[in-house]
Amino acid sequence: MHRTSYSVALVGLIAVAMLLCAGCTSTPSGNNTTPTGTAAMTGTPVETAGTTILPTSTPDANVTATVAPNQTTTPNATPAFVGTTWEWTAIEAMDGMNQTVVKDSAEHTIIFNKDGSYGIKADCNIGGGNYTVNGSALKLTSPVTTLIFCGNESHEQLYLASLQNVTAYTVTPAGKLQLSLGETGNRMVFAANTTKLTPTVNASFVNKTWRWTGLTQTMPANDVRVSNPNQYTLNFAANGTYAIKADCNSGSGNYTLNKTVLKISAPTLTKAYCGDSSSDKTFLEGLTRVKSFQMDSTGGLVLTMENPTNRMSFKL
């Protein structure tokens, strides 16, 4: 009887002890203990008892400044070849040994303008295009030129084809311009023309191909609307020359500009017959009577004659 009562009491004490231990917590000791009421440091600011704890920023020793593609730290200077009339004298190998000498160098010229355009003379033809420079790399767009046949002995086609393959430039200590021709290993050689100055015309209509759209004339009365503007084009180069297409003929000439006063000389032109319905004669005659220019509200070119009410209209 007494033994049974003792056993029951012992079991009860053990059960009470287990219930008490279930509510106990054990806090490990050591440096990793986070004090009660203090937030652990994270990348997000944490407010505790009215105090803001900011994350600590540690500079990364491996971070370096980067520059976006094509970004330069200083503006590009004007290349040394700009503004000079260059005469083509030869094509030579990179070692300078093998050469194709151009005897009529004054008939094959190029001038690079500050606005990124260039003008050329290719034997009996003239024209122009645009260029881009990146360091010593140089690229030229295909030139728009007149289409006169210059003869079987002309270097015109070799000249034009070579310009389209230019990849880089060098101005030598001797003052020559060398244009590298890509993978061929050859280069074009130019000498500066120092005997005469080439005019540089800065105007909004220069180095653009203008298409004739019509003629308005009051004395004598004549009103022409051109149904095929692509057959009647005009391109003024910055060197004071122009290229023209008059229906089935093409040619070139010279012009002068003084403020808005514009004078256009009669062109040297091929002489094919373009048909009775062609407006080529009206186009050519009108150009030689031009006295001034203006740009209209749509960006078109208007060439006015002796009588300001007589005018030729062009669009791009």
Give the pLDDT of residue 144.
81
- Residue 198's pLDDT band (boundaries 50, 70, 90)? low
The class (CATH top level) of 209-315 is mainly beta
Tokens of 260: 């808005």
Name the more confident of 32 and 92. 92
Give the pLDDT of residue 33.
43
Domain spans in the chain, listed from the N-terminal domain onward: 85-192, 209-315
Matching CATH number, 85-192, of 1.10.10.10, 2.40.128.270, 1.10.240.10, 1.10.3720.10: 2.40.128.270
Q: Mean pLDDT across the chain, nearest whole number?
A: 78
Q: Is the pLDDT of residue 114 over 60?
A: yes
Give the pLDDT of residue 15.
52
* pTM to 2 decimal places: 0.50
Q: Which amino acid is at 39?
A: A
Give the pLDDT of residue 148.
82
- Residue 60's pLDDT band (boundaries 50, 70, 90)? very low
